[in-house]
């Protein structure tokens, strides 16, 4: 089983074929950053066209069993997620609507303060808001998974405590290895995994030690250390692969429509665009490199296999509940 | 099996209990007349609240098998339908989105010319439009059933011919029995049923001979005659029950936002509101009267049973296809 629990590539037949070549059984794709509800629906419509046009490569994923179907038919099951709660606007009823349309993960914040919680770029973290509590409860009810990858520490810890179901950090790395604002301190990771939550390792260069020059060995040894500390069953991959995207897309991610000024996020004025991928992870055919790298750290085949997909599969099975 | 394939009541616990008392296994409910997409989603959100609040009385219906589940648990399966294509706006991609949200019937027009076809109140019927052809094809693809109850004759006949799947007139009566603009001439009924389509008999007083004073016997004899002419397998009930609605709702149905002037539709300035129901059909507990009335015409128990629900059930089974 091979699952990547976060990508936002510039989707194309080429990339869907690379998923097939790479043996990807499931990929969780971001369908909205700053979109409102109607714009998110337009993005789902675009995915429906891709499902219609490439039925031999990809299929809609709604349940863990869809991963089995995809695997047995040599396709990739695509699961939808939101990196921001903007698609639910200020309407809690849209949570069930979006879940029915296939959305399975939603971040409570994307860097900034949202209606629900505080993002990791704010200077004051006030935790989960009044609406945020209601939203977590409704997400629990319908089976939409809370993702705190872009949230601030206190908000993340509170979400892990408030949620009756396990929550996730779908794409990040430990702060102790690469001290980016988006990477997570041990107490945050602990809060998520101790309640059965999942943590996905990111391959986005701004989240890597030495960024684009990060070595496969450094990455895999970091994974091995974290797994030793917290238990292998809580970890998987959430690569944050942004393959083929033009630089204006990273600007959309960072600024959306919330600012008239440019904000460089994890980049800088001198380095505003997408960073170069490390040479050992450029597309969906490169998961084999990570698998080999993890084996080289001395992990057992079972441990490597659980990180490459088995843990996410089990998480899907336990948490993508229907109503 | 007891199925009513069209209602638009002012939904309440009282009415859901009457559905249970009346032994309704499924009801197709209208969720939009003139609403745009976002407003239709709000109406679905309202239904989600009712499903959450009355789980012992009603459940969401998406497939024929849901009727079996409802029957075996003494509940009513609720199937969604649109009386106007306004919810898809001018976006063909919204057809699959609304189907995913549970919509199973869509009228191509509601009395007026739409983007897709001509309504029964227009003086010129130009048939299915360019977009209408595309929409019928997409509805066929995703499994959303075409309903021509409020369409003009030529448009209806063309839709029946263009559609690769059977179409419906969910709620109307024969024009020869009650010459309302909304009732259907034999060649229109024939076009629908000869391709496997279904025709639902309406109990809305403006569609009845002698309106509110129509007798049960007159209604049932009309049914028996039509069944003799076209074959019993094509007929069911689509009562158009508008129980407990205030008169401003009939105004919304008739005028929506398309006119600043009042339009009385099937009513008149002297009789602008909802007409009184015939005394033998006031709510969901009265289907037993129709069943008895049909038996009195000399139909076999099997024939009566097929009209009371068996035919709609078979139609659901054959036409509510998943993708």
Q: A302 CB contacts (<8 Å, ≥6 apart)?
A: none
Has residue A2 got a pLDDT over 60? yes
Contacts of A97 in chain B (CB under 8 A): 41, 44-45, 48, 101
Nearest-angstrom CA–CA distance, A114 and A108 = 7
CB within 8 Å: B42 and A100: no
Query: Residue A286 and residue A295: Cα distance in Å, rounded?
Result: 15
How much is the CA Rg of chain A, to the nearest whole Å? 18
Residue A240 binned pLDDT confidence (cut-offs 50, 70, 90): very high
pLDDT tens digits along A141-192: 999 999 999 999 999 999 999 999 999 999 999 999 999 999 999 999 999 9
Listing DSSP states for B97-163 in one string gives HHHHTTEEEEES-SSS--SSS-BTT-S----S-HHHHHHHHHHHHHT-EEE-TTB-HHHHHHHHHH-
**Residues of chain A neighbouring B93 (CB-CB closer than 8 A):** 42, 45-46, 48-49
- Residue-level pLDDT at A139: 98
Residue A43: pLDDT above 90? yes
| Residues on chain A touching B48 (C-beta within 8 angstroms) | 93, 96-97
* Tally of CB atoms within 10 A around A260: 6
Using DSSP's 3-state secondary structure scheme, residue A191 falls into helix
How confident is the model at residue A253, as a pLDDT?
93
What tokens does A105 get?
A: 């993960």
CB atoms within 10 A of CB A318: 12
Residue B44, Cβ neighbours under 10 Å: how many? 21
Spatial neighbors of B312 by CB under 8 A, at least 6 apart, are B3, B5, B26, B198, B200, B236, B237
| Pair A170, A238: CB distance under 8 Å | yes
Q: Does the pLDDT at position A322 exceed 80?
A: no
Look at the block and give the residue holding tokens 């009727």.
B67
B62, with CB counted inside 10 A (0-12, 13-18, 19+), is: buried
DSSP structure string for A106-172: EES-SSS--SSS-BTT-S----S-HHHHHHHHHHHHHT-EEE-TTB-HHHHHHHHHH-SS--EEEEE
Check if the beta carbon of residue B76 is closer than 8 Å to that of residue B25: yes
Rounded to 5 degrees, what angle do the CA atoms B73, B76, B81 make? 145
| Residue B263 structure tokens | 């339009």
Q: Tokens 């170069």 belong to which residue? A: A276
Q: Which residues of A fall within a CB distance of 8 Å from B37?
A: 38, 41
Greater confidence, B263 or A227?
A: A227
Mean residue pLDDT of chain A comes to: 97
Q: What's the rounded Cα separation, in Å, for the pair A145 and A164?
A: 11
- Asked if A182 contacts A120 with a C-beta cutoff of 8 angstroms, the reply is yes
Q: Determine the angle formed by the axes of helices B186-193 and B153-162, rounding to 10 degrees.
A: 20
Pairwise CA distance, residues B108 & B124, whole Å: 16
**Tokens at B41, concatenated:** 């989603």
Residue of A nearest to B49 (CA): A93
pLDDT digits (tens, 9 = 90+) for B235-268: 999 999 999 999 999 999 999 999 999 888 888 8
**Per-residue model confidence (pLDDT) at position A271:** 87
Taken in order of first residue, the domains within chain B and their CATH numbers are 3-319 (3.20.20.140)
Determine the Cα–Cα distance for residues B281 and B9; give it in Å rounded to an integer: 13
The two structure tokens encoding residue A8 = 């936002």
Asked if B37 lies within 8 A of A38 by C-beta distance, the reply is: yes
* Of A45, A48, A97, Cβ closest to residue B44: A97
* DSSP single-letter state for residue A268: B
CB atoms within 10 A of CB A307: 26
* Vertex A62 angle, CA A57 and A68, to 5°: 60
Q: Which residues of B touch A49 (CB under 8 A)?
A: 93
* Cα–Cα nearest to A280, from A184, A193, A215, A196: A215
Contact A41 B100 (CB under 8 A): no
> pLDDT band at B169, cuts 50/70/90?
very high
Burial-class residue B74 by CB neighbours within 10 Å (0-12, 13-18, 19+): exposed
pLDDT value of position B323: 53
Q: B79-116: per-residue pLDDT in tens?
A: 999 999 999 999 999 999 999 999 999 999 999 999 99
Q: Tens of pLDDT along B108-143?
A: 999 999 999 999 999 999 999 999 999 999 999 999
The Cα B273–Cα B267 span in angstroms is 7
- Measured between CB atoms, which of B48, B93, B102 is closest to A45? B93
Reported ipTM? 0.92
Tell me the C-alpha distance between A275 and A245, whole Å: 11
Q: What's the confidence (pLDDT) of residue A288?
A: 98
Q: What percent of chain B has pLDDT over 90?
A: 95
pLDDT higher than 60, residue A323: no
């Amino acid at each position: 089983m091979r699952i990547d629990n976060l990508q936002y590539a510039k989707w194309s037949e080429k990339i869907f074929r690379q998923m097939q070549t790479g043996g990807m059984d499931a990929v969780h794709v971001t369908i909205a950053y700053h979109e409102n509800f109607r714009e998110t629906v337009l993005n789902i419509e675009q995915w429906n066209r891709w499902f219609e046009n490439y039925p031999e490569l990809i299929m809609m994923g709604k349940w863990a069993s869809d991963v089995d179907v995809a695997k047995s038919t040599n396709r990739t099951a695509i699961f939808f997620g939101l990196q921001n709660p903007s698609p639910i606007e200020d309407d809690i009823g849209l949570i069930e609507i979006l879940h029915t349309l296939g959305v399975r993960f939603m971040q409570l914040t994307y860097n900034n303060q949202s209606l629900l919680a505080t993002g990791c770029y704010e200077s004051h973290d006030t935790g989960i808001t009044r609406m945020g509590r209601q939203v977590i409860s409704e997400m629990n009810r319908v089976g939409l998974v809370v993702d705190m990858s872009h949230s601030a520490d206190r908000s993340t810890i509170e979400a892990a405590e408030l949620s009756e179901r396990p929550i996730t950090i779908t794409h990040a790395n430990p702060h102790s290895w690469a001290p980016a604002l988006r990477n997570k301190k041990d107490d945050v990771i602990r809060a998520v995994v101790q309640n059965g939550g999942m943590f996905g390792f990111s391959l986005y260069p701004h989240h890597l030690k030495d960024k684009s020059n990060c070595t496969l060995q450094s990455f895999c040894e970091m994974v091995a250390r974290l797994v030793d500390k917290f238990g292998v069953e809580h970890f998987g991959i959430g690569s944050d692969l942004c393959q083929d995207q033009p630089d204006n897309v990273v600007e959309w991610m960072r600024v959306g429509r919330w600012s008239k000024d440019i904000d460089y996020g994890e980049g800088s004025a001198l380095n505003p665009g997408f960073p170069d991928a490390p040479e050992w992870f450029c597309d969906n055919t490169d998961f084999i490199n990570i698998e080999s790298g993890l084996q080289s750290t001395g992990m057992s085949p079972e441990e490597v296999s659980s990180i490459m997909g088995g843990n996410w599969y089990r998480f899907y099975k336990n948490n993508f509940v229907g109503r």
